[in-house]
Structure 1
Amino acid sequence: MDEIEPRLRGLMLAGLAGEAGPYRRLLDELSGLLRGYYGRRCPPGVDAEDLVQETLIAVHTRRATYDAGQPFTAWAYAIARYKLIDALRRGRAHLRAPLEAADALFVPAGADAAMARRDLDRVMADLPARTRDLIRDVKIAGLSTREAAEKHGMSETAVKVAVHRGLKSLGGKYGGSPGDED
């Protein structure tokens, strides 16, 4: 998923800019992904190929609604999910799955990670770039403070202070007032 999203997003942006070749490649690649998506989810009586074509048409007709700041695959799979739901309603077909597995029926592999990255980007957008990078390196990528300090040309103490202040700022903004111990 990590390598698919940037490629498809780039093709979509090029298509939105009026480039026919990249847009055609986008639709070709997307059709293959949709075949796999619907192939795993369509019960007997629901034609996966029809859904692929309906989804490609919907992507094409709604392409102007795509927000370039958001992941393309999440947007495209949301359209695909709605097309599947519509087909199931039309055919009175029902998917049988345990309730706890319901999300897995409609969420493509890696979508949770893409949505989490998007949310994290939004939350950390107000932090200075260096602080964002340090928090990502130390708290998300798992680098030690020493490794992060070497990477950014800082002292370990400066890294610890920057990460602490950045997290404190985020906590103040999203986690309640700084004095809350709840």
Structure 2
Amino acid sequence: MTSPEPDLEALMRASQSGDAAAHRALLHHLSGRLRSYFRNRLRRSGTGTDEAEDLVQDTLLVLHTKRHTYDGSSPVLAWTYGIARYKLIDYLRANARALRHVQIDEVDDLADAHDGFSAVDTARELHRALATLPRHFRLPIEYVKIEGLSIAEAAARIGMSDAAVKIGIHRGMKRLAAVLSEARP
């Protein structure tokens, strides 16, 4: 027996009103869907599950910081997949090698990325939250996620191993989400 599908719109409304439990439930449910979405799409480009998990975390961070912009005019899943699509396209653009493995009939899907989602500028809020992170979390996120360096380039610049940079990003993103969660109910 499977559990019933949660009412995502109700969870989003409660999350926007400051209900932390609803917000956690919403992100938990969406993370499973996002993980599947990214793994399926990245499998076609020959990339691994690490990249999919990074994209899941990036998307959840945007969902967390931008939930106040959701206006209910479209389903939560459509809004979520719109954000995920932008994250995927940004990743593929930044990693052009992955585009060599995209099927020709999928190129139109990737090119049709401008579906009206507009983000509110939260750079100041993000930089304040980043400043609270320890150096071994902050620098990998800044170099890889913000500046667009590869894992290897960031590792060389920081003086860490590639694995330590990946771990720093993953754990740092979790801490960053927690810091941002505390800043905005």
The normalised TM-score by structure 1 is 0.51
Amino acid at match of 1:81: R
Max radius of gyration: which structure? 1
1:149 aligned partner: none
Give ranges in structure 1 of 5+ residues lacking alignment: 108-182
The structure, 1 or 2, with the larger RCO (C-alpha pairs under 8 Å, 6+ apart) is: 2
Q: Could you tell me how far apart the structure 1 residues matched to 2:82 and 2:32 are?
A: 16
> 1:44 Cα deviation (Å)?
2.7
> 1:105 Cα deviation (Å)?
11
Number of equivalenced pairs:
104
Amino acid at match of 1:96: V
1:117 aligned partner: none
Contact 1:59/1:76 (8 A) holds in 2: yes
2:65 aligned partner: 61
Q: Residues 100 and 7 of structure 1: is their aligned pair in 2 closer, same or farther, counting only changes over 3 Å?
A: same
> 1:96 Cα deviation (Å)?
2.1
Q: In the alignment, does 2:75 pair up with 1:71?
A: yes
Contact 1:81/1:106 (8 A) holds in 2: no
Q: Could you tell me how far apart the structure 1 residues matched to 2:53 and 2:41 are?
A: 12
The normalised TM-score by structure 2 is 0.50
Q: Could you tell me how far apart the structure 1 residues matched to 2:18 and 2:88 are?
A: 29
Amino acid at match of 2:27: L
> 1:102 Cα deviation (Å)?
4.4
Q: State the identity %.
A: 46
2:105 aligned partner: 99
Q: In the alignment, does 2:47 pair up with 1:45?
A: yes
1:21 aligned partner: 21
Q: 1:125-136 to 2 correspondence within 5 Å?
A: none
Q: 1:96-175 to 2 correspondence within 5 Å?
A: 96-99=102-105, 102-103=108-109
Shift >3 Å, 4+ stretches: 100-107
Q: Residues 71 and 55 of structure 1: is their aligned pair in 2 closer, same or farther, counting only changes over 3 Å?
A: same
> 1:69 Cα deviation (Å)?
3.0
Give ranges in structure 2 of 5+ residues lacking alignment: 114-185
RMSD: 2.7
Q: Could you tell me how far apart the structure 1 residues matched to 2:71 and 2:78 are?
A: 11
Contact 1:31/1:56 (8 A) holds in 2: yes
